[in-house]
Amino acid sequence: MAGERNDNRDAAGVEAGLRESLKRELEGEIRQTLEAELRGELSQELRERLVARLKAELSEEIQVRIARIKAELEAEILSRGVPVPTLPPPPREFERFSMNVRVQHIVLMVSCLILIITGLPLKFHEARISQIFFDLVGGVQMSTLIHRIGAVGLIAVGAYHLFYLVAFREGRRNFLRLLPTPKDVRDFFQMLRYFLGRIEEKPRFGRFSYVEKFDYWAVYWGMVIMIGSGLILWFLETSLRFLPKFAADIAREAHSDEGLLATLAIIIWHFYNVHLNPEHFPMNWTFWTGTISEEEMHRHHPLEYEEAMAARTIRPPLPGGLPETGALAADPAVRPPTREGMQPAAGEKSP
């Protein structure tokens, strides 16, 4: 194991050295050529464009050469009889949900579960199981108390989320990516054609697919109805100071009906898409770990993946020229392979 690591470190050192020398050498050549052959005949702009293009080609060239050198080194190590690592490289992980989002989601989840468990027996009060439930928790008064604890959680996470959308760069960025676009409509129809076997290409999603956007915006609708009607019913005497009795009846009806709709949507739709579909059955742990594998990222969010990859390799707008090797490793969108396995992902930052 120790020998293996040393070899790797050597290989990395050689790689970095090569990179540096190649870069210096080629840049020098470009400059010389330009100076000698163009002598200011071309405009500054054209010159810059040329430099950029050359740099891009250079960068590809560097990669190709590094890969070749790497292969040669590996062959050499192999020929020396040193055992090569037999474990496949650990999967690269992409951060999907920041700690902030994960905590929000868990509070929302727990609140919803509490509200559903204590709410449904009121709606289906004639069912035998409701009787069992009320006996278990110690009567309807205890049940309503627990329901209100859940309500506090739901209201708190709703309010915090609005704050998050305004106050955090990550929140603003996520929000912009969650806004519905015409592409979502196109994606939806493409998905239908794909489902029916008319085409073989799935729509290519960005960070959020239309399914995820639907889930997100459905929660807004649910929160407005449930919290609004719930508060009227919670503070009934205060509400009835201003509202007629039939408004409270409407609140009760809406609370009861939307509660059922939300429950069905969560248990059937959300659970299927996230956990119960054949790909993730029985459980998708991303809500807890916050990460998804490179393979999944590539499959489900190809546009986001490509964006991240593009940011990783070439960054033409940066004034500092080619990205440093160190900068590559520190790129927050890409986590380099680690031998230690999964690690909590660092907070996402905009590039």
Q: Which residues bind other proteins (CB under 8 A)?
A: 122, 125-126, 131, 134, 139-141, 143, 192, 194-197, 211, 236-237, 240-250, 252-254, 257-258, 260-261, 264-265, 268-269, 272-273, 277-278
- Our CB check for other proteins shows the closer of 126 and 340 to be 126
CB of residue 128 to other proteins, shortest distance in Å: 13
Q: What is d(CA 160, CA 33) in angstroms, rounded to the nearest whole number?
A: 59
Q: What angle do CA 57, 16, 320 make, to 5 degrees?
A: 55
CB of residue 261 to other proteins, shortest distance in Å: 5
- Our CB check for other proteins shows the closer of 67 and 268 to be 268
CB of residue 226 to other proteins, shortest distance in Å: 12
- Our CB check for other proteins shows the closer of 273 and 293 to be 273
Q: What is d(CA 64, CA 178) in angstroms, rounded to the nearest whole number?
A: 37
The amino acid sitting at 114 is I
Task: Using alpha carbons, list the distances in angstroms from residue 70 to 8, 67, 79.
Answer: 10, 5, 14
Q: What is d(CA 169, CA 180) in angstroms, rounded to the nearest whole number?
A: 19
Q: What is d(CA 168, CA 311) in angstroms, rounded to the nearest whole number?
A: 22
- Our CB check for other proteins shows the closer of 136 and 310 to be 136
CB of residue 225 to other proteins, shortest distance in Å: 9
State the maximum Cα–Cα separation within the chain, in Å, rounded to a whole number: 92
Nearest to 73 by CA among 2, 8, 16: 8
CB of residue 152 to other proteins, shortest distance in Å: 20
Bridging pattern class, strands 93-95 and 291-293:
antiparallel
- Our CB check for other proteins shows the closer of 14 and 140 to be 140
- Our CB check for other proteins shows the closer of 264 and 329 to be 264
- Our CB check for other proteins shows the closer of 18 and 243 to be 243
- Our CB check for other proteins shows the closer of 47 and 193 to be 193
Task: Using alpha carbons, list the distances in angstroms from residue 8 to 1, 79, 175, 177.
Answer: 11, 15, 42, 40
CB of residue 205 to other proteins, shortest distance in Å: 14
Backbone angles phi, psi at 331, to 5 degrees: -55, 120
CB of residue 123 to other proteins, shortest distance in Å: 10
Residues 6+ away with beta carbon under 8 Å from 112: 150, 154, 262, 266
Residues 6+ away with beta carbon under 8 Å from 341: 90
CB of residue 257 to other proteins, shortest distance in Å: 3
Q: How far is CA 162 from the centre of its chain?
A: 19
CB of residue 113 to other proteins, shortest distance in Å: 20
Provide the 3-class DSSP secondary structure of residue 291: strand
Question: For residue 83, is the peptide bond before it cis, meaning its omega torsion is within 30 degrees of 0?
Answer: no
- Our CB check for other proteins shows the closer of 23 and 299 to be 299
